[in-house]
Amino acid sequence: MLDEKLKIIEDKYNEINEKLMQPEIINDQDAYRNYMKEYKELTPLVEKYKEYSKAKASFDEAVELLEAGGLDKEFKEMVQLQYDESKEDMAKLSEELKILLLPKDPNDEKNVIIEIRGGAGGEEAALFANSLYRMYSMYAASKGWKTEVINANETELGGFKEISFMIEGEGAYSRLKYESGVHRVQRVPETESQGRIHTSTVTVAVLPEAEEVEIELNEEKDLKIDVFRSSGAGGQHINKTSSAIRITHIPTGMVVECQDERSQYKNKDKALKVLRSRLLEQKQREHDNEIASERRSQVGTGDRSERIRTYNYPEGRISDHRIGLTIYRLAQVLNGNLDEVIDALATADQAAKLSAQEES
């Protein structure tokens, strides 16, 4: 059955490849872009299937030779080795193909908007919110992605009560979607003179950037837009002109502020991006709740109230509670070396989805 499914996909891939060489498709930018996107998505799967077909051909050849008999001892050992290696390769490639065949998250290639808010712990939580912002910024830089602050509410000690920012880059959501939830920090606060370890929390929300066609907004009916002067730490006004924007989405009561740019137009544009992304997330969460079984088969990727990770400074330890992962490289992770954690989460997510697929 797997072979049949993969053969159909390979035929489709070859058909798309032929279409990409046709002049009428090349001259139609939209059609070419759509076919190219599909071709790119299918390429890893088809290449893996070719590897599998090669291993299967080698296996079938070995079976045929062994069943025919009449082999001298040395040649028989060679054929037996070919049989064993091909069988092992087929099993490995079969599992890899099952993972590649899992339904793709349609948001995986999108840019992300990350919102970080200080939770329990006051100033200490705000300082840790800054540490997380730095961690994600450094991780983005290591991937060649661009980070742009949308809105920031700073404290006098250099923390953030809240900060929202966009990370632009191919596959940004596929890597960062596992970061949504409550992050807990255990450390001696910079504001504490007694040397006692405090526990504080910070909430992170990771939203895929929504396109205008996904979330349509009627500015006259749905939005209340207010302008005001930007303020810095402690509430002092930092701009003489009213360039900051507050948008209220009337149907849901959702409020978005943006005051990072001096231009009112740019702030409005950024605020609308955040609003669309929040509304898209809400829409997806409602959909996920309707299909609870699918939701349970995923590693937590969106529940903001879920405590997902603890950062313990005295022990130099990070623990991800969803998958029972503990590593003792806190400084490296906070300096943006997040791949070890994200890879483990992505692997666990794939395993859970494979298990759910096999049960259904």
3 state SS of 188:
coil
- Look up residue 181 and give its amino acid: G
Range from 80-94, 255-269, 278-292 carrying the lowest mean pLDDT: 278-292
Q: Output Rg (C-alpha) for the chain, integer angstroms.
A: 26
In this prediction, residue 49 carries a pLDDT of 94
What is the distance between the alpha carbons of residues 220 and 193, in angstroms, rounded to a whole number?
53
- Look up residue 278 and give its amino acid: R
Is CATH 3.40.50.740 the classification given to domain 112-353? no
Mean pLDDT, the chain, rounded, equals: 85
Beta carbons within 10 angstroms of residue 171's beta carbon:
13
Mean pLDDT score, 269-286: 83
Mean pLDDT score, 84-93: 94
What is the distance between the alpha carbons of residues 173 and 281, in angstroms, rounded to a whole number?
12
Domain spans in the chain, listed from the N-terminal domain onward? 2-100, 112-353
DSSP 163: E
Location of structure tokens 């065949």: 101
Dump pLDDT digits (tens) for 105-144. 788 888 999 999 998 878 889 999 999 999 999 999 999 9
- Look up residue 57 and give its amino acid: A
Say how many Å lie between the first and final Cα of the chain, rounded. 16
Dump pLDDT digits (tens) for 148-185. 888 888 888 889 998 999 999 988 999 999 999 999 99
What is the distance between the alpha carbons of residues 163 and 116, in angstroms, rounded to a whole number?
5
- Look up residue 120 and give its amino acid: A
270, with CB counted inside 10 A (0-12, 13-18, 19+), is buried
- Look up residue 175 and give its amino acid: R
What is the distance between the alpha carbons of residues 141 and 170, in angstroms, rounded to a whole number?
13
Helices (H), the chain: 2-19, 23-26, 29-68, 73-100, 122-142, 172-176, 219-222, 264-290, 292-296, 330-334, 339-359
- Say which residues have a Cβ less than 8 Å from residue 198's Cβ, sequence separation at least 6: 121, 124, 186, 187, 188, 189, 192
Q: Which two tokens stand for residue 165?
A: 């920012």
What is the distance between the alpha carbons of residues 228 and 277, in angstroms, rounded to a whole number?
23
What's the CATH number for 2-100? 1.20.58
The answer, as to whether pTM is greater than 0.75, is: no
3 state SS of 120:
coil
Beta carbons within 10 angstroms of residue 156's beta carbon:
11
Q: What percent of the chain has pLDDT over 90?
A: 46
Residue 268 and residue 225 in contact, taking contact as beta carbons nearer than 8 Å: yes
